[in-house]
Structure 1
Amino acid sequence: MPRWSSPSICPISDHKLRRSFGGSEINNHIQWLIEHGITAEHIGELIAGLCDRLTADGFPIWRGSISMPSIHPMYGGVSANFVRDGATTIENAEYGSAAVLNFEKTPIYFLLGRGETSGRWNIAKGEGVDDYPQLAEFAHGGGTDHLVSLLEFPKEAALRGVSLSLTSDRPGGFSDDQLAIVAKLFPALGLACYRIAASKTAADILAVYTGAKTSARILAGEIQRGKGGSINAAILLADLRNFTALTEVYQPGEIAGFLDEHFELIGRHVEDNSGEILKFMGDSVLAIFPTDAEDPQKACMAALASARNILEANKVLNGQRRNDGGPDIGVDVVLHLGEVFYGNIGARGRLDFTVIGSAVNEASRLEKLCGTLGHHLLMSESFAVTSAVASECLGSFELRGVSKPVNVFKLAGTD
């Protein structure tokens, strides 16, 4: 078991604080934190501004950091790191990264485990240097004193709290007065961080579940049921071929893993070409590429580039999985062009921001022909004509729910 260093706690009376640092100065810093907590876009602005202000007041701050957990499918936490006379950086700690895996070797983890809200390590005397790699690094760079303060957010919030870390490189480090001032300022800093984190979390989670463009519309106030409008768009519908049969062979966890792998490559190539995924439907993906009234061909070519890249990437993925004894999973892609209603659909308390209309239904019906015709990529006539890509008509087909037969196309020269 490692020998965890106990931090030094140096309380100070308000009487001594008032003699050394006026209440008006503290109030000015609190006012600054509140004002910037309302307007700042990220916590980096707070740590940089606060450290600059305190340094101007004589605080021997060499490094400063704000760290918070994240509610994000890719990142476990975020930190903003200030360095005197250097740039302030933002770091997102990805799941599985060294920052996440080594969290147990940090002063913050030590304080959380003991239920304590603050700690101080005299780096110049070697406190914590043997236990925490970060403090060893600071000591090597000339650090002398390290302070950590923790603030817990409401227990019902998944954003559990915020930590403030300040490091000095001055002999003797921070004074008792300066520690007390930091304690006075920390609640206002925590409140500002909570506001920024709550706003960012709302935007991040909406983007994850609805797409970046759709989430921006929702956050702009388009949340009423039925609110939306008609747009013209290239529609991409991708479906995993014969995927249902795999559920009888593989365990649910394995099935979910296969889905994630294929959805990841589909999503990546849709987004790389300025499209947006609107819905995952079982083993299918619905995406749109809104058209420009003056140049509808541009959206079609973007959708076609996505489709081609998806099919090529799927071949690579299947080849990798085949080497591990896994299944080949084909992807069928249909491209269509038409008018859709883009907006809020659903019950009063549960909405879906998506597209509906005959064009969406036709794309869904066209997808069923991929297996019948033996092609992984099919196009509607409206898409083939507008894209002006070299294509071949496979014939005219009846589609369920569509009043007239439709002409179906494939790319010229493909099997």
Structure 2
Amino acid sequence: MLPESVDSILDWLAQTGLAGADEASLVRGFSQRCIAAGCLLSGGLVIIDTLHPLYEGRALIWEEDPGANFRDNEFQPIRNDDANWESWQRNPFFHMLRDGETYMRCRLVDGETLGYPQLEELRVAGQTDHLAVVHRLRDAPSVEDADGFYARWTTAAPQGFSDPDIDALKRLTTQLALALRLAAQTRLANTLVETYLGRDPGRRVLQGGIVRGRVEKISAVLWFSDLTGYTRLSEEVPWDQMISLLNDYAEAVIGSVHDAGGDVLKLIGDGVLAIFSGPDLKDASMAAMTAGRALGQKLRDLSDRRAAEGLPTANVHLGVHFGDVYYGNIGSPDRLDFTVVGPAVNEVSRIAAMCHSVDRRILCSSEFISLLPEEERTDFVSVGRFALRGVGSAKHLYTLDPAILQNR
């Protein structure tokens, strides 16, 4: 590659990275521009470790062959007791990371595979040259805990890479690593903010909604659910099993809310606070109904599975309400929470708490029932008026007709 071509690709990486391009666009664009500049790439593998609740990192695989699909995969951590650990130990990247090497070139056309099975596979497949690049992103006491950026470029050109191409790829790959790290951290920020704050609050925060005291008044359907008999369960169930139980039931609740278009705002011990909102409040009420029905099925399936495995089971109490709330940033300058506050939030938690007193799994306020289409209201029956703790006026509460609930 000519120096001016290298400079052009460097400029493109800087501009595209700053513009917020994703990892796949960066790897595709980089590979295509290298080929256009005369570096005959035939394949590339890029891996970047990242902080994620579920995944160790992301692998992007590009091939020049038009018939090959671009692959973009997230992968699980590899630990020294995993089945894949032995294969990882035979990978050139492992040895480069362990030994602090940044570059490894193997002229496959000359049979230089250094005993690595992966390189022998590339040679047999017709690749003639190989360049691996490793940059540590975070030091750690052991190889399995270190975070890194890894890249592998190959060519099938008869004479392999030229020395100027190797020099250019080394320089360019470092800039690609920087752009990819920026893209990965941006994606990670989106994931973490939405995971810990909720989907809609996360979007609002990332769009600049971080000013303390900036709230808006909205009308929303409010959902509060918690585990039935949590105190008893926590005393009777071993804590390793209790954590599993909490996770299983939280997944059932949160999945039901999210699938129906709601937003989970808080996990409070075993409790879940969520809202359903939007321009059409009848749609919001029906979304809450959809979530409730889905939760019922998920709970039945979950209890069957856990009982079959000899694990403790539980049930969920659910309170549903409708009212005005203040939605936004509340807290101190150095510790904010994007949440909802207002009397309706207190009321929905008290409604859920009444489930135990009246022996009902679901209780809904008259305000929520009034939102529902007429044909949906017939599924509910009144359980009476109740004075709720900390609420100034009694609430008329409804539950699903027991005959209907039994069939769901």
How far did 1:100 drift? 7.1
Q: Corresponding residue for 2:71?
A: 89
Q: Corresponding residue for 2:56?
A: 76
Structure 1 residue corresponding to 2:321, chosen from 333, 336, 345: 336
Q: Corresponding residue for 2:39?
A: 59
**Rounded Cα–Cα distance in structure 2 between residues aligned with 1:383 and 1:42:** 42
**Rounded Cα–Cα distance in structure 1 between residues aligned with 2:119 and 2:167:** 22
Structure 2 residue corresponding to 1:41, chosen from 21, 25, 32: 21
Query: For each residue in 1:184-205, what CA deviation from the matched residue of structure 2 results, as whole angstroms up to 9, or x when unmatched?
Result: 2233222212221221121111
Q: Corresponding residue for 2:200?
A: 213
Q: Does the CA-based 8 Å contact 2:127-2:154 persist in structure 1?
A: yes
Q: Corresponding residue for 1:321?
A: 306
How far did 1:105 drift? 4.2
**Rounded Cα–Cα distance in structure 2 between residues aligned with 1:407 and 1:299:** 21
How far did 1:136 drift? 5.0
Q: Does the CA-based 8 Å contact 1:94-1:100 persist in structure 2?
A: no
Structure 2 residue corresponding to 1:274, chosen from 261, 280, 286: 261
Structure 2 residue corresponding to 1:224, chosen from 204, 207, 211: 211
**Rounded Cα–Cα distance in structure 1 between residues aligned with 2:93 and 2:370:** 61
How far did 1:57 drift? 2.3
Instruction: Kindly provide the amino acid, as one letter, of the partner of residue 354 in structure 2.
Output: L
| 1:353 has 2:342 as partner | no
Paired residues in the alignment total 391
Instruction: Kindly provide the amino acid, as one letter, of the partner of residue 356 in structure 2.
Output: G
Q: Corresponding residue for 1:172?
A: 159
Instruction: Kindly provide the amino acid, as one letter, of the partner of residue 138 in structure 1.
Output: L
| 1:238 has 2:222 as partner | no
Q: Corresponding residue for 1:5?
A: none
- Unaligned 5+ segments in structure 2 are none
**Rounded Cα–Cα distance in structure 1 between residues aligned with 2:78 and 2:397:** 46
**Rounded Cα–Cα distance in structure 1 between residues aligned with 2:97 and 2:146:** 15
Q: Corresponding residue for 2:358?
A: 373
Q: Corresponding residue for 2:127?
A: 143
Q: Does the CA-based 8 Å contact 1:43-1:66 persist in structure 2?
A: no
Q: Find the residue that maps to 2:236 and give its secondary structure.
A: coil
Change (3 A) 1:182 1:107: same
Change (3 A) 1:257 1:100: farther
What's the Cα RMSD here?
A: 2.4
How far did 1:43 drift? 1.6
Query: For each residue in 1:121-150, what CA deviation from the matched residue of structure 2 results, as whole angstroms up to 9, or x when unmatched?
Result: 344455549644x44543443222221111
Q: Find the residue that maps to 2:133 and give its secondary structure.
A: strand
**Rounded Cα–Cα distance in structure 1 between residues aligned with 2:83 and 2:292:** 37
Structure 1 residue corresponding to 2:238, chosen from 213, 231, 251: 251
**Rounded Cα–Cα distance in structure 1 between residues aligned with 2:298 and 2:263:** 18
Q: How does 1:359-398 map to 2 (within 5 A)?
A: 359-388=344-373, 389=376, 390=378, 391-398=380-387
Q: How does 1:153-168 map to 2 (within 5 A)?
A: 153=137, 160-168=147-155
Instruction: Kindly provide the amino acid, as one letter, of the partner of residue 344 in structure 2.
Output: A
Q: Does the CA-based 8 Å contact 1:300-1:383 persist in structure 2?
A: yes
- Name the % identity: 30
Q: How does 1:93-104 map to 2 (within 5 A)?
A: 93-95=75-77, 103-104=88-89
Q: Corresponding residue for 1:15?
A: none
Q: Corresponding residue for 1:16?
A: none
Q: Does the CA-based 8 Å contact 2:56-2:75 persist in structure 1?
A: yes
Q: Corresponding residue for 1:310?
A: 295
**Rounded Cα–Cα distance in structure 1 between residues aligned with 2:263 and 2:245:** 21
How far did 1:272 drift? 0.7
Q: Does the CA-based 8 Å contact 2:325-2:342 persist in structure 1?
A: yes
Q: Find the residue that maps to 2:329 and give its secondary structure.
A: strand
Structure 2 residue corresponding to 1:199, chosen from 168, 174, 186: 186
Q: Corresponding residue for 1:121?
A: 106
**Rounded Cα–Cα distance in structure 2 between residues aligned with 1:96 and 1:257:** 22
How far did 1:332 drift? 0.8
Q: Corresponding residue for 2:388?
A: 399
Change (3 A) 1:161 1:410: same
Q: Which moved more, 1:179-188 or 1:329-338?
A: 179-188
How far did 1:180 drift? 0.9
Instruction: Kindly provide the amino acid, as one letter, of the partner of residue 227 in structure 2.
Output: L
Q: Does the CA-based 8 Å contact 1:168-1:174 persist in structure 2?
A: yes
Q: Does the CA-based 8 Å contact 1:241-1:332 persist in structure 2?
A: yes
Q: Does the CA-based 8 Å contact 1:129-1:139 persist in structure 2?
A: no
Q: Which moved more, 1:334-343 or 1:182-191?
A: 182-191
Q: Find the residue that maps to 2:235 and give its secondary structure.
A: coil
**Rounded Cα–Cα distance in structure 2 between residues aligned with 1:396 and 1:103:** 65
- Unaligned 5+ segments in structure 1 are 1-20
Q: Does the CA-based 8 Å contact 1:336-1:382 persist in structure 2?
A: yes
